[in-house]
Amino acid sequence: MSTTIRDVAQRAGVGQGTVSRVLNGSSQVSPATRERVERAISELNYRPNLIAQSFASGRTDAVAVIAPFITRPSVVERLRGIERVVTLRDYQFIVYNVETAERRSACLRDVPRRDRIDGLVVISLIPTEAERAHIHDSGVPYVLIDGHEPSGTSVGIDDIAGGRTATDYLLSLGHRRIAFIGDFLDDPLSVNFTSSRLREQGYRTALEQAGIAVRRDYVRHGRHDREVARIIGRELLQLPERPQAIFAASDTQALGVVLAARDLQLTIPDDVSLIGFDDVEIAEFCGLTTIRQPLLHSGIRGAELLFGLIEQPTCSQPHQCLPVELIVRGSTRAAPA
Amino acid sequence: MSTTIRDVAQRAGVGQGTVSRVLNGSSQVSPATRERVERAISELNYRPNLIAQSFASGRTDAVAVIAPFITRPSVVERLRGIERVVTLRDYQFIVYNVETAERRSACLRDVPRRDRIDGLVVISLIPTEAERAHIHDSGVPYVLIDGHEPSGTSVGIDDIAGGRTATDYLLSLGHRRIAFIGDFLDDPLSVNFTSSRLREQGYRTALEQAGIAVRRDYVRHGRHDREVARIIGRELLQLPERPQAIFAASDTQALGVVLAARDLQLTIPDDVSLIGFDDVEIAEFCGLTTIRQPLLHSGIRGAELLFGLIEQPTCSQPHQCLPVELIVRGSTRAAPA
DNA sequence: CTGTTAGCGCTTTCAA
DNA sequence: TTGAAAGCGCTAACAG
């Protein structure tokens, strides 16, 4: 068998409790004893059994993340931020990938358990009222990233303002006929929220403030997918009155529009201006004008908040709103005079 | 406190052991008893404590993955494949992201522990002889993805053949001056291996077989990064005798060449043909000719092999070689006559 | 088929 | 400041 705390205690000539105290950095141990124990530990090359530690202490030293489509660039970037912080604290980083509605419910139901994890981060999936209550009942500290948790801790951006900024920029370039592509409204993964919807709201507000009526045929929705957006983009670009500019609620969808334009032999930005959202890595490569949100940083911040909660479960932080930024690249240009 | 197995036993009027048997699906329980226990479980809304189960059984129901740069599209795709299988088996999926040499060693040293995980997948990082021995000593079943583990279980592709296929295709188009861009040879993360190097070997073999000498100025290396490849690409494309075609050892690097060509106002494929490797998602978008390797599937296969090992630790599988495929898109064309 | 029970390795009282 | 010892909740071996 593996060496246990008993072996160490024996070798050091102390009690198990003392070894445990040394292990956990208690200040209640005399330097001499500590020294003796530490020597025994290194002589025996002893490593405490993590499961046994968890079992006895009730902590798991693990943090879970529930995220939709972990392959999406925006999600990956956030995961990376979380992983960085979690690792720094020597916690395990457990990932749950969600690609269906069933899986979403299953995760939200089964993952929040004190005997499983010490904390939970949820990305881009807004729990229902019942799910939120369930998480709360589980007693697991919990942070939401990319969403707003009214009575909990969350980090996100002002999607409405982002949508407005994007639209205002297109307006400032002289465009009047501005179309919008956003996520499918009945996305089963996002029961009562999508950031896409808020960005659309910003779009609508901006147009209204500019005295431009929102045209039904200019506002389209589809699954968050490049190829779906490509089809929608083609439809928009083939409208009798072609939009001068398109605001896509994500870079992924904006890239679909790039393909649509290519399909129709139209040139961006000469024939149509295009702006995306997120500023994922490929956006720069493609010269896509977009609204940048701090993806990596949202993960870092979210994880930091979570550890705050783990250490101080009572003191819940308010919603954190991260800044967005307009990044102008080559996919937008002024409307011809 | 939470309800325990004792409460259930009491309520069902049976012993703890019987409840445990029901929990673990033992066939040694009479239908009537099972029924009674199950009713007690659901009446009490009992969930077994996972930590306690792990502690008593010695299993952790967790699988760890150590991967470099989890944000790279190729890595993400593999992670997704692994996650899918791991989740299906109701195991926890623990991710360790490696971005430095120190972290690499730390992970390879600390993660393989029976009290932590039941199995380990390593992606694109070849353990040294000592590290391999250490993993073996830990007793944790282990699978390597994207590499060849001589005396262990691994899944990969024939990188040499892939490199040959890519180069042969360029040759078949009539190109003779073919350059190569690959990973930095002293990559601290990949101590004694990079797939890039094998692809280069395929490139060299193909050229030699075609009776073409490999030109030193046509073979370049740099960190696996788009911007680095862009700089290298510019150098290649500004050579007095410009290559007719470039084989990049990864799509990421190929995209750097796309930027380089753009920088120099050169057109792909008219001025230079370009072929990549991997067929990551963006390759299709960019119309990049490339060598496709089954990334998602490598993750799935690797995880399946791992579970084979977990269930049958003795019966180690041989190296699995997945097929690659030439995907012709618009970045290559025949050399002018 | 089922009840009883001895631990699993550690943390954490409780005394000393 | 330390040692002794009582569990943590479960599995698995053993007895019946």
List CB contacts of B238: < 8 A, sequence separation 6 or more.
Answer: B264
Please tell me whether any atom of strand C lies within 7 Å of the Cβ of A54.
no
A 10 A CB-CB count for A178 gives 26
Compute the distance between CA of residue A247 and CA of residue B243 in angstroms, rounded to an integer.
40
> Tens digit of pLDDT for each residue in A297-312?
999 999 999 999 998 8
Q: How close A209 gets to chain B, by Cα (Å)?
A: 36
pLDDT, average across residues B184-190: 78
Q: Where are the beta strands (DSSP E) in A158-311?
A: 178-183, 219-222, 245-248, 273-278, 289-292
Higher pLDDT, A337 or B36: B36
Q: Kindly list the distances between the CA atom of residue B220 and the CA atoms of A297, B184, B216, in Å, as whole numbers in the listed order.
A: 34, 9, 8
Q: Which of A3-7, A64-68, A144-148, B311-315 has the lowest mean pLDDT?
A: B311-315
Of B266, B163, B261, B254, the C-alpha closest to B214 is B163
* pLDDT tens digit sequence for A110-147: 999 999 899 999 999 989 999 999 999 999 999 999 99
Q: How many percent of chain B have pLDDT more than 70?
A: 99
The two three-digit tokens of residue A232, written as one number: 């929608």
Asked if strand D contacts B95 at the CB level, meaning under 7 A, the answer is: no
Proximity of residue A49 CB to strand C below 7 A = yes
- The reply to whether B191 touches chain A by the CB within 8 Å rule is no
Chain A residue with CA closest to B258: the answer is: A285
pLDDT in tens, B249-308: 999 999 999 999 999 999 999 999 999 999 999 999 999 999 999 999 999 999 999 999
Angle formed at CA A195 by CA A192 and CA A199, multiple of 5 degrees: 125
Can you give the pLDDT at residue B192?
53
Which of A285, A288, A296, A300 to mutate: most B Cβ within 10 Å? A285
Measure the CA–CA gap between A264 and B256, rounded to whole angstroms.
27
The answer to whether residues A332 and A275 touch, using CB atoms and an 8 Å cutoff, is: yes
For residue B218, what is the DSSP state?
G
Distances (CA, A) of A216 to A179, A221, B18: 9, 11, 64
The single-letter code of the amino acid at B160 is: I
Task: Report if CB B1 to strand D is under 7 Å.
Answer: yes
Q: Separation of CA A17 and C1' D3 in angstroms?
A: 7
In sequence order, the 6+-apart residues with CB closer than 8 A to the CB of A284 are A329
Whether A73 contacts B60, CB under 8 Å: no
Contact A257, A231 (CB under 8 A): no
Per-residue DSSP letter, A336 = P
A128 CB less than 7 Å from any atom of strand C:
no
Closest Cα partner for B190 from B123, B286, B235?
Answer: B123
Nearest CA distance, A206 vs chain B (angstrom): 31
Beta-carbon contacts below 8 Å between A and B: 88
Average pLDDT over residues A208-213: 97
HSE value, Cβ hemisphere, 13 Å, CA-based, for B260:
27
Q: Which nucleotides of C are covered by protein (CB under 7 A)?
A: 1-14
Query: Model confidence at B1, in pLDDT bands (50, 70, 90)?
Result: low
> What average pLDDT does the segment A154-176 reach?
97
Tally of CB atoms within 10 A around A185: 12
Q: Give the confidence band of B241 by pLDDT, cuts at 50, 70, 90.
A: very high
Using the Cβ of A106 and the Cβ atoms of chain B, whether some distance falls under 8 Å is answered with no
Specify the residue for token string 């952790």: B60
**Residue A163 identity (one-letter amino acid):** G
Residue B114 and residue A40: Cα distance in Å, rounded? 22
Per DSSP, the three-state class of B64 is strand
Neighbour-count burial for A58-76, b at 16+ CB within 10 Å, e otherwise: eebebbbbbbbbbbbbbbb
Residue of B nearest to A284 (CA): B259
Say how many C-beta atoms besides its own lie within 10 A of residue A84's C-beta: 16
Q: How far is the CA of B114 from the C1' of D7 (A)?
A: 24
What does the DSSP 8-state code read for residue B174? T
Q: What are phi and psi of A178, to 5 degrees?
A: -120, 120
Nearest residue to A258 via CA among A232, A224, A281: A232
In angstroms, the CA A121 to CA A302 distance is 7
Q: Which nucleotides of D are covered by protein (CB under 7 A)?
A: 1-14
Q: CA B269, CA B243: separation in Å to the nearest integer?
A: 12
- Over residues A19-54, the pLDDT tens digits come to 999 988 877 788 888 888 889 999 889 899 999 999
B54 touches strand D (CB under 7 A): no
